[in-house]
């Protein structure tokens, strides 16, 4: 067990299941209408320092699960645990203070504000005296953003905007990064860059919960995979165990989508 703890501290997913999870969803029921829940008793365990991917067909509830984890949608019932503490019903604001950062799908920066102002918004969660240091650390990591610090975000290239989105999610030095569809709408080069950044997060020992339509990319990055359907876990396992099953499942998902049964 001592060896296990040391390995996991390095972000090694080989001993999945032997350590305390960073995020745990226990029988979570959640949705947008009380009488029509999207998540219907979802159970997830996202281990510390590893990448967990949630896959599944359109409408399965993947983004909804991420919103619950990030505190944007309170569960109707069930529990959300963060590092062993019950955080069910805490707001996104409170969870950000506890180290959870959400990178939503699509544009999440403000186009009519400068790069630096956007980073300051991302740094609100830090004590005032830490904010400047944190912004400078981001500029060290992405010199290109420093060059454009006074530029309005709308004038940045797509790639620069993506870097800004990622860096805004990182500025608070989160322990858990929740990412919805990191490559959607991006050119292949920008998508690769986006995955490269996610890989780096894992190397830094952060916990990543990832939703991705691109199953191949998700599998290249994830240590552990859940396949969701209709708000429940259909299958789960380590990436190596799931790869074969998933190609079957993806065909099935696509078949279903083609059959028009998915909203």
Ligand X SMILES: Nc1ncnc2c1ncn2[C@@H]1O[C@H](COP(=O)(O)OP(=O)(O)OP(=O)(O)O)[C@@H](O)[C@H]1O
Binding residues for ligand X, rule: CB under 6 A, are: 32, 38, 56, 58-64, 213, 263
Burial-class residue 51 by CB neighbours within 10 Å (0-12, 13-18, 19+). Answer: buried
Torsions phi, psi for 262 (to 5 deg): -95, 135
Report the partner that residue 32 touches, choosing among Mg ion, ligand X, none (CB closer than 5 to 8 A by kind).
Answer: ligand X
Report the partner that residue 40 touches, choosing among Mg ion, ligand X, none (CB closer than 5 to 8 A by kind).
Answer: none
* Closer of 11 and 37 to Mg ion (Cβ): 37
63 near Mg ion (CB under 5 A): yes
* Closer of 32 and 124 to ligand X (Cβ): 32
**Smallest separation, CB 133 to ligand X (Å):** 36
* Closer of 42 and 134 to ligand X (Cβ): 42
Report the partner that residue 167 touches, choosing among Mg ion, ligand X, none (CB closer than 5 to 8 A by kind).
Answer: none
Report the partner that residue 261 touches, choosing among Mg ion, ligand X, none (CB closer than 5 to 8 A by kind).
Answer: none
Stretch that binds Mg ion, among 59-67, 70-78, 136-144, 236-244 (CB under 5 A): 59-67
Residue of closest CB approach to Mg ion: 63
In this structure, the chain runs to a length of 263
* Closer of 16 and 211 to Mg ion (Cβ): 211
Stretch that binds Mg ion, among 32-40, 62-70, 93-101, 232-240 (CB under 5 A): 62-70
* Closer of 62 and 175 to Mg ion (Cβ): 62
* Closer of 46 and 119 to Mg ion (Cβ): 46
64 near Mg ion (CB under 5 A): no
The residues that touch Mg ion, with contacts defined as CB under 5 A, are: 62-63
């Amino acid at each position: 067990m001592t060896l296990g703890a040391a390995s996991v501290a390095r972000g090694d997913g080989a001993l999945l299941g032997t350590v305390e999870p960073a995020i745990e969803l226990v029988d979570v029921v959640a949705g947008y209408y009380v009488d029509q829940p999207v998540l219907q008793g979802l159970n997830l365990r996202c281990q510390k320092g590893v990448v967990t991917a949630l896959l599944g067909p359109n409408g399965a509830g993947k983004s909804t699960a991420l919103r619950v984890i990030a505190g944007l949608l309170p569960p109707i019932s069930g529990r959300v645990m963060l590092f062993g503490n019950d955080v069910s019903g805490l707001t996104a604001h409170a969870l950000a203070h506890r180290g959870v950062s959400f990178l939503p799908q699509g544009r999440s920066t403000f186009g009519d504000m400068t790069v630096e102002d956007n980073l300051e918004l991302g740094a609100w969660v830090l004590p005032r005296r830490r904010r400047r240091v944190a912004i400078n650390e981001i500029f060290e990591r992405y010199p290109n953003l420093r060059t454009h610090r006074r530029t309005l975000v709308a004038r940045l290239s797509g790639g620069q905007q993506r870097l800004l989105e990622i860096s805004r999610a990182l500025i608070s030095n989160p322990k858990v990064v929740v990412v919805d569809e990191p490559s959607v709408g991006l050119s292949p080069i920008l998508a690769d860059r986006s995955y490269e950044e996610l890989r780096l997060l894992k190397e830094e020992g952060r916990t990543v919960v990832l939703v991705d339509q691109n199953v191949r990319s998700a599998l290249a990055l994830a240590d552990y995979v859940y396949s969701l359907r209709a708000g429940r876990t259909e299958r789960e396992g380590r990436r190596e165990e799931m790869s074969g099953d998933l190609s079957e499942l993806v065909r099935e998902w696509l078949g279903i989508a083609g059959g028009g049964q998915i909203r």
